A and B are shown apart, each in its own frame.
Chain A
Amino acid sequence: MMIDLNNKQRNMSHLETEMAQLKAETMKMWELVNLQLAKGKEALVKLDKDLAREIILSERRVNAFELKLDRDCENIFALFNPVAVDLRFVLAVLKINNNLERTGDVVKGIAKFVTNVDNSFDKKLLDITRAVEMYQATIDMMADVLDAFDKEDTIKARKVFKKDELVDEINFNANKAVADYIREHERTFANESKAAAGKNTDSSIRVHDEHVESALYLLSIIRKLERVGDQATNIAEEIIFYVEAKVLKHKTEKERNQ
């Protein structure tokens, strides 16, 4: 009896059905994480503490997804012994699951900072650190890899490597930007103090202190965003591994582009 190995039109086998379900679950978790990430940006820019608290509560759902996906992968390995592309797919999902959970954790951390900061971040501070631009870049990267995963598009997956350079650049320059900002605030405050003959009002002292504190919080947030960028590039590597069986981990930029 001849069998047609080229025939794409056929019913899905039991294993294919399970894997399609695994993919759908992964994307549900992913959409939740991306939503958390987007909410985080809004909470940061508007200093919306209610939104921040919402993000913190929703993190539980991300964790629940992680546990379920781990179990689903384990079951597929145990029951079906997948090989070749099927094996690579389940291995990739196992790792992406981890990346997504850590991204969720990072966003929760950012939301916690937002609940701790007293006043909105100074617009000038946000501008000179390019924090909002950096945040948007990470949102774009996570959206890109989700789409790349869905469509098995390794070209789209590779795009995030370039975007990560921007994220790294902003992170790298953040120290200097924040230090400059604090120093300028110190000078302004020192002048004010001179003018007030050492009798600053309580509120002016408080405002100064808050500006310095919020600058440091923003620096922490920038660090966290850099990690989101890293998670997105890790995910891109997993997608390329599963689709092309190519391992890009720990390769230099030059090696990657070969």
Chain B
Amino acid sequence: MMYKIESKNVAFYYGSHKALKNINIAIMNNTVTALIGPSGCGKSTYLRLLNRMNDLIENTKVEGEILIDGQNIYGKGVNVDSLRTKVGMVFQKPNPFPKSIFENVAYGLRVNDINDKNLIEERVVTSIKQVALWEEVKDKLKKSAFELSGGQQQRLCIARALAIQPSVLLMDEPTSALDPISTAKVEELVYELKTKYTIVIVTHNMQQAGRVSDTTAFFYMGELIEYDNTKIIFTNPKQERTQNYITGRFG
């Protein structure tokens, strides 16, 4: 059985500082995996390895292999732009472009040399519908994206990521900046999207991990302490450190 994403003995260095040590995770297709752990544990660093966003940071080094669909994304001759259309990303703070709602979603298509007007429109509409935003914006597609609320902007950013039809979606604390209602809407969305995508989500909110994910990986000081079905992590984790973290018993 082939895994969607596989990390084999992955280590990562910021300069001489070893930020990730010996990470081994195998993620299955059409699942939601939550990455949890205290600040500075390496979960966001690990997430950014999956679409090589860390390449943009100077003086960093990756060891080990990360396979997506069986192919090592750090191998020779890998096209990073192509990788990033396959592996989309949504960030903590909603960051719509200073463009119209329509153009925000269309941008990724245009930048990937898709010029067919009909195809662009079809993809934009489909994506906006996928994130349950269509009813709210269908009459104002030409308005600036900044006129939307924070929660709507974040859903727009997700639509933007989905428009180029990735197979993996990376989400770095996607609801940290949102109010509870918007958070709930994004969580429902993640739960629905997993039938079509493989999703990896970093979250500070453990209850969120419980609500949306199938599997959970607990990171601590650059190490992967435990990775298992979310049900098991939250009812009977195998590692004491995992239990201490999720029950809030930390010094």
Contact = CB atoms under 8 A, between A and B. Distances in A.
Interface of A: 1, 3, 13-15, 74-75, 78-81
Contact of A80 (B136, B151, B152, B211): B211
29 contacts: A1-B136, A1-B149, A1-B151, A1-B152, A1-B181, A1-B182, A3-B181, A13-B184, A13-B188, A14-B187, A14-B191, A14-B211, A14-B212, A15-B211, A74-B235, A75-B235, A78-B210, A78-B231, A78-B234, A78-B235, A79-B210, A79-B211, A79-B230, A79-B231, A79-B234, A80-B210, A80-B211, A81-B207, A81-B210
Nearest to A14: B191
A162 B63 CA distance: 73
A80 B235 CA distance: 12
Nearest to A1: B149
B242 to A, nearest CB: 13
Nearest to B231: A75
Contacts of A3: 181
Contacts of A14: 187-188, 191, 211-212
Interface string B134-153: 00100000000000010110
B134 to A, nearest CB: 14
Interface string B195-210: 0000000000001001
Contacts of B184: 13
Contacts, number: 31
Contacts of B234: 78-79
A74 B232 CA distance: 11
Nearest to A11: B188
B63 to A, nearest CB: 35
A45 B181 CA distance: 59
A16 to B, nearest CB: 11
Given A78-B231, A79-B230, A79-B234, 16 more contacts: A13-B184, A13-B188, A14-B187, A14-B191, A14-B212, A74-B235, A75-B231, A75-B235, A78-B210, A78-B234, A78-B235, A79-B210, A79-B211, A79-B231, A81-B207, A81-B210
Interface string B172-192: 000000000110100110010
Contacts of A13: 184, 188
A51 to B, nearest CB: 39
A43 to B, nearest CB: 40
